[in-house]
Amino acid sequence: MRSACLLGMVAVVTTGAVWAGDVMYKGRTVVVGDQEGGPIERVEGTRYVVPGSPDALLAKAQGCLAGLDGASDVAADPVQGRIEAQLLSGFRASFANQTLRSRLRLEVGEDSFQLTDSGLELARSEEEGFRPLLQSGMPWEKALDALIKHEDALVDCMYRR
């Protein structure tokens, strides 16, 4: 009985730690590592509804990504219903030009798609190199604003095409 109670408490504490890292930011879920102010693991967008079959939405997304400034290394996986691309988002913060690099994943379903960014890294300059984007101590909100601006351009294109 005592070990079952202890195991139940561990499960509750573990579950609480997972949810403690999720933060809502401008309609997206920002998932932060298990430490406060730690690295941002991913940014999950909402599911957008747009008419089309998965194949048609993948083709539309490829066209949109081809015209999106900062998108590169675009790779489609029609079997899994997804496209992945590297996304570079430039912005100015702390009196310097900075670049956020992320791995964008667009997943399609019947009449819908969803965007998720992972591997978020920040660089002030090419000499400094990229390092993980932290939720504290860095201009993480401005970095996410730049990322969201890119995502919004992609979403707008998906609705226009």
d(CA 114, CA 82): 9
126's CB contacts (< 8 A; 6+ apart) are none
Average pLDDT over residues 50-70: 96
Residue 63 has pLDDT above 60, yes or no: yes
Q: What is the pTM of this model?
A: 0.82
Tens of pLDDT, residue by residue over 112-147, are 999 999 999 999 876 789 999 998 876 899 999 999
pLDDT of residue 82: 97
**Structural domains in the chain plus CATH codes:** 22-160 (3.30.530.80)
Q: Which H/E stretch holds residue 63?
A: helix 54-66
| pLDDT at residue 37, rounded to an integer | 78
